[in-house]
């Protein structure tokens, strides 16, 4: 969106939340008519970074640059209520309040990314360096957003935001080195072709190796080192390339059109199950006498056409997009074992999303109306060509239409928010060919008790239709029809309080909390029985997010806490799941962020600590079958950046991730121990990298 136009906010989505910035650039704590907890706008981006805003806390984009993010987890893990499971390049799996990425609306430049390609990988593939901003709505708090558990909106970089005032041409080169293991090289050029036309071209090339785990040993479930391993996680070595071409046209002072094409490629000799850890890969590969690594390619091509306008008192955003992902794997390695020759061949999956989004906001005296329309077409295709000459495949598709309107009625210091949304989903799948439609509503109250203290109460109804099957297990080919399956419905309740003022000696003292309860009726479990999806009961998730910030002079601090506990009230058909939690649930999580600007010109220091508590074993849905307990962990990252005043545009950033060399796996990743009748005990531990020294050299001109 053009920097001249204010962002159209979802209003209700931000109203419940805590939206306090940690930005050193931002000092204005005033509220807008749109939302009293609106994140504070950052200054024009003059350096390379990613502005991360969240309804549970706001992190300064300069802070993000210091982290040298090369995985989405580097951007998001310290945000309360948010985690990213998986360390493999194919397995960036965002969770919000323990709900996985299938329950979250994810978009890049307005193009939806919810393509459920393969249950052993995440639904998002992008490199963090390309991102200009990330906006996260923690929880469903608005009829404007359709995600059951929240919304994540990524926006890629654009020339208009990078060009300095008066400049018509700019560029940047960056080289990065990770000791554990990898290196990258990125180049960007941007400028104005004419007074009204700007263009950006970006390319990033990343080479990843097999990193070493914390402590340098691959352990089994008993804590013993696995024979034949040397501490490196195999099946990670590959290449990622991310390219972006974006052209922007200012039609006039109030209208802008931008056309974008992003091309993402990921290729390597990867493990069959990128989310399950080396111990499981070794056990399965050894038992079947087949290779550990398989030639794999993931490709994504996304085309976007965006229109932003301010037409009188109305702000308008429109996006037309085409997003196609393909997954290909050479599985001829099965032929190395004569017993599995008939399994050998090449598999491919295609997930194709096309859509149109319209979002408008109009002001009428004390009323602010937000209204819009979404239409999404989703097509999937699976094919496997066996080396013996046979083949199999399947196709599925769905069509979704959504309409919504929301009114924010401001009366003195009180805002009343009322909204309604209508969704209709048509499915053409093996599971069902039914249509699902629902009207949902939302009601909220916000009160500014003082200029510094804000209160909020909100309730939003939920709806999610059954989904198209995952692609790379047949695209529904092996599913069992279930004509009686119901859509998920429910309600999300939230209450929030936040306070910001310059007290206790601070330039900005910030404190706030949100408590929530999410009720999902007719919860759908993909593996209620083999190949059978069904409604297994009513799921309740309860929790809270808290933060405390204290900024003084050159020091910024932010301490956060989050928890989310889930419980399933199972139906009589599935008593074995009664009382179960969802598998992605985390233990209580605390994060601490510290940033300090030294007196020496151009030197900034950063440290962050993430502490996740143990989670006891117990019944869960889709978790390990033998031991479901999750180990807690503490990860410390430190970094420093120097931008010498003698060389304008040069920056040198150095840091250490996982300073204490902790052996850990995110609790949003695969964890625990399962028992398999053939492979025996499987340790499902998706190891994260151990200590990693990082260096980034960048020059922007």
CA 191 – CA 588 distance, rounded (Å): 46
Residue 482's SS3 state is coil
Find residue 400's DSSP bridge partners. 376, 425
Number of domains in the chain: 1
Please list the alpha-helical segments (H only) found in 579-644.
Answer: none
CA 262 – CA 124 distance, rounded (Å): 14
Question: Residue 64: its pLDDT value, please?
Answer: 56
User: What b-and-e string marks burial along 553-588, b requiring 16 or more CB atoms within 10 Å of the CB?
Assistant: eeebbbbbbbbbbbbbbbbeebeebeebbbbbbbbb
Rama region for 560: left / alpha / beta (φ>0; ψ in -120 to 50; rest): beta
Task: Tell me, yes or no, whether 1 lies in a domain.
Answer: no
**DSSP states along 626-639:** SB--B--EEEEEEE
Those residues with Cβ within 8 angstroms of residue 648's Cβ, 6 or more apart along the chain or in another chain: none
Residue 282's SS3 state is helix
* Contact in structure between 72 and 128 (CB atoms under 8 Å): yes
Cα 691 to Cα 78, 186, 260, 666, distances in angstroms:
18, 24, 37, 15
Q: 259 falls in which pLDDT band (50, 70, 90)?
A: very high
**DSSP states along 49-109:** --EEEESS-EE-HHHHHHTT--SHHHHHTTSTTEEEE--STT-BEEEETTB-GGGEEEEET
Of 106-115, 367-376, 569-578, 599-608, the range with the lowest mean pLDDT is 599-608
Supply φ then ψ for residue 610, to 5 degrees: -120, 120
Question: Residue 59: its pLDDT value, please?
Answer: 53
Cα 223 to Cα 191, 215, 218, distances in angstroms:
55, 12, 9
CA 212 – CA 194 distance, rounded (Å): 50
Task: Tell me, yes or no, whether 158 lies in a domain.
Answer: yes
Task: Tell me, yes or no, whether 3 lies in a domain.
Answer: no
Q: Is the dihedral of CA 217, 221, 224, 228 positive or negative?
A: negative
Share of residues in the chain with pLDDT > 70 (%): 92
CA angle 354, 359, 361 (to 5 degrees): 175
Task: Tell me, yes or no, whether 310 lies in a domain.
Answer: yes
* Count of C-beta atoms within a 10 Å radius of residue 213: 27
Instruction: Strands of 225-274 (E only): list them.
Output: 238-252, 255-271
Cα 75 to Cα 59, 486, 520, 563, distances in angstroms:
9, 36, 29, 19
Hey, what are 700's tokens?
């922007």
pLDDT at position 590 over 90: yes
Q: 541 falls in which pLDDT band (50, 70, 90)?
A: very high
Task: Tell me, yes or no, whether 6 lies in a domain.
Answer: no
Those residues with Cβ within 8 angstroms of residue 600's Cβ, 6 or more apart along the chain or in another chain: none
Mean pLDDT of 670-681: 87
In terms of residues, how long is the chain? Answer: 701
- 406-439 pLDDT, tens digit per residue, is 999 999 999 999 999 999 999 999 999 999 999 9
Task: Tell me, yes or no, whether 2 lies in a domain.
Answer: no
The domain that holds 181 is classified in CATH as 2.40.170.20
Question: Residue 681: its pLDDT value, please?
Answer: 87
DSSP for residue 36? T
More confident residue, 488 or 221: 488
pLDDT at position 527 over 70: yes
Average pLDDT value over all residues in the chain: 89
More confident residue, 521 or 161: 521
Residues of the domain holding 346:
12-700
CA angle 224, 225, 228 (to 5 degrees): 145
Residue 377, H or E segment: strand 367-386
Measure CA of the first residue to CA of the last residue in the chain; give whole Å.
23
Residue 168's SS3 state is coil
Question: Residue 35: its pLDDT value, please?
Answer: 36
Share of residues in the chain with pLDDT > 90 (%): 77
Task: Tell me, yes or no, whether 146 lies in a domain.
Answer: yes
CA angle 297, 303, 308 (to 5 degrees): 145
* Contact in structure between 144 and 419 (CB atoms under 8 Å): yes
Q: Is the peptide bond before 490 cis (omega within 30 degrees of 0)?
A: no
Q: What is the pTM of this model?
A: 0.89
Task: Tell me, yes or no, whether 4 lies in a domain.
Answer: no
* Contact in structure between 568 and 552 (CB atoms under 8 Å): no
pLDDT at position 6 over 50: no
CA 524 – CA 463 distance, rounded (Å): 12
Of 62-66, 552-556, 613-617, 666-670, the range with the lowest mean pLDDT is 62-66
Q: Is the dihedral of CA 594, 595, 599, 604 positive or negative?
A: positive
- 17-62 pLDDT, tens digit per residue, is 322 223 333 333 333 333 333 332 322 333 477 888 888 875 554 5
Mean pLDDT of 509-527: 96
Q: 255 falls in which pLDDT band (50, 70, 90)?
A: very high
Hey, what are 225's tokens?
């080192």
3-state helix, strand, coil in the chain (%, to 5): 10, 55, 35
CA 13 – CA 19 distance, rounded (Å): 11
pLDDT at position 330 over 90: yes
- 51-97 pLDDT, tens digit per residue, is 888 888 755 545 556 677 777 888 888 889 999 988 889 988 899 99
């Amino acid at each position: 969106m053009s920097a001249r136009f204010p962002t159209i906010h979802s209003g209700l989505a931000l109203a419940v939340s805590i939206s306090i910035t940690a930005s050193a650039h931002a000092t204005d704590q005033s509220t807008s008519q749109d939302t009293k907890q609106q994140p504070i706008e950052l200054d024009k981006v003059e350096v390379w970074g990613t502005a991360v805003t969240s309804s549970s806390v706001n992190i300064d984009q300069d802070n993000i640059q210091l982290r040298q993010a090369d995985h989405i987890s580097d951007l998001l893990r310290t945000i309360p209520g948010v985690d990213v499971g998986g360390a493999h390049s194919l397995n960036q799996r965002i969770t919000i309040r323990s709900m996985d990425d299938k329950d979250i609306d994810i978009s890049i430049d307005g193009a939806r990314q919810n393509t459920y390609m393969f249950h052993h990988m995440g639904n998002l593939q992008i490199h963090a360096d390309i991102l200009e901003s990330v906006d996260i709505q923690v929880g469903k708090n608005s009829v404007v957003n359709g995600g059951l558990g929240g919304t994540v909106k990524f926006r890629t970089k654009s020339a208009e935001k990078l060009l300095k005032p008066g400049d018509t041409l700019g560029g940047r080169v960056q080289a990065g080195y990770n000791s554990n293991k990898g290196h990258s090289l990125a180049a960007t050029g941007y400028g104005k072709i004419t007074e009204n036309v700007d263009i950006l071209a970006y390319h990033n090339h990343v080479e990843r190796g097999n990193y070493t785990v914390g402590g340098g040993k691959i352990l089994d479930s008993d804590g013993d080192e696995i024979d034949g391993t040397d501490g490196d996680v195999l099946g990670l070595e590959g290449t990622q390339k991310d390219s972006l071409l974006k052209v922007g046209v200012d039609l006039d002072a109030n209208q802008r059109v931008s056309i974008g094409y992003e091309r993402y490629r990921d290729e390597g000799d990867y493990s069959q199950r990128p989310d399950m850890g080396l111990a499981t890969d070794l056990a399965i590969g050894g038992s079947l006498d087949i290779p550990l690594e398989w030639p794999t390619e993931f490709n994504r091509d996304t085309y976007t056409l965006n229109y932003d306008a301010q037409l009188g008192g109305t702000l308008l955003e429109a996006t037309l997009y085409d997003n196609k992902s393909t997954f290909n794997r050479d599985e001829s390695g099965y032929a190395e074992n004569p017993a599995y020759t008939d399994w050998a061949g090449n598999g491919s999956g295609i997930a194709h999303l096309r859509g149109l989004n319209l979002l408008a906001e109009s002001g009428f005296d004390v009323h602010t109306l937000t209204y819009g329309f979404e239409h999404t077409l989703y097509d999937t295709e699976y094919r496997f060509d066996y080396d013996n000459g046979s083949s199999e495949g399947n196709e599925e598709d769905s069509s979704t239409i959504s309409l919504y309107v929301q009114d924010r009625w401001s009366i003195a210091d009180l805002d009343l928010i009322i909204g309604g949304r209508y969704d209709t989903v048509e499915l053409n799948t093996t599971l069902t060919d039914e249509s699902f439609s629902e009207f949902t509503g939302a009601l909220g109250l916000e009160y500014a008790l003082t200029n510094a203290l804000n209160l909020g109460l909100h309730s939003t109804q939920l709806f999610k239709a059954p989904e198209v099957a995952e692609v790379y297990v047949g695209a529904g080919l092996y599913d069992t029809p279930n004509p009686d399956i119901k859509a998920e419905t429910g309600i999300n309740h939230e209450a929030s309080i936040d306070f910001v003022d310059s007290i206790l000696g601070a330039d900005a003292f910030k404190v706030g909390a949100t408590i929530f309860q999410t009720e999902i009726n007719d919860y759908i479990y993909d593996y209620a029985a083999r190949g059978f999806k069904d409604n297994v009961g009513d799921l309740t998730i309860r929790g809270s997010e808290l933060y405390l910030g204290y900024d003084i002079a050159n020091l910024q601090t932010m301490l956060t806490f989050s928890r989310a506990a889930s419980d399933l009230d199972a139906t009589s058909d599935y008593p074995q799941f009664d009382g179960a939690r969802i598998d992605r649930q985390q233990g209580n999580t605390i994060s601490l962020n510290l940033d300090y600007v030294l007196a020496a010109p151009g030197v900034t220091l950063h440290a962050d600590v993430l502490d996740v508590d143990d989670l006891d074993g117990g019944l869960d849905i889709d978790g390990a079958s033998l031991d479901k307990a999750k180990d807690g962990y503490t990860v410390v990252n430190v970094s420093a950046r120097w931008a010498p005043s003698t060389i304008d545009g040069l920056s040198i950033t150095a840091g250490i991730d996982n300073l204490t060399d902790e052996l850990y796996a995110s609790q949003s990743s695969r964890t625990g121990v399962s028992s398999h009748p053939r492979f025996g005990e499987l340790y499902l531990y998706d190891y994260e990298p151990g200590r990693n020294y990082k260096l980034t050299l960048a020059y922007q001109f």
